[in-house]
Amino acid sequence: MFETDADPASRHRKNLLVLEDGRVNGGDGVCAYSGRYGYDAARAVAHLALTGRCAEGEAAPAWFGQGTVCRLEIAGQVQGDVFLGHGGVEALPRMTLRVQGVKVAQP
């Protein structure tokens, strides 16, 4: 389980993501995330492909673009219990997300 910080300027700041058996599930209380991940242990690189869905009536973070569903691709380095990554949102190809995650528990 990782606690991540992808949007420090908004209330969508902290997320919990559970990575187990190639699957990712989690959320931040307003939006839920699900998807897949891959990990190359030789290079300590992780790739996440996520879909985010916001609860009905909740405003999505600005990086969702229009609507309440977004698709994210994030890749980064794993250093011990820390994941540092960057990626993008399908709806906003010019925008880059920077993600920092810290392992807080084993699934």
| Mean pLDDT in residue range 48-58 | 77
Length reported for the chain:
107
| Mean pLDDT in residue range 55-76 | 73
Contact by Cβ (8 Å): 76, 53: no
In CATH terms, the fold of domain 2-103 is Lipocalin (2.40.128)
- CA-based end-to-end distance of the chain: 6
pLDDT for residue 25:
87
Highest mean pLDDT (candidates 4-8, 54-58, 75-79): 75-79
| Mean pLDDT in residue range 48-61 | 75
| Mean pLDDT in residue range 23-44 | 80
Half-sphere exposure of 92 (CA within 13 A, CB side): 16
Q: Does the structure show a pLDDT above 70 at 56?
A: yes
Please give the mean pLDDT across all residues of the chain: 77
More confidently predicted of 16 and 81: 81
Q: Is the CA virtual torsion 37, 23, 13, 53 positive or negative?
A: positive
CA 72 to chain centre: 7
The band of 86, judged by pLDDT with boundaries at 50, 70 and 90, is: confident
pLDDT for residue 65:
61
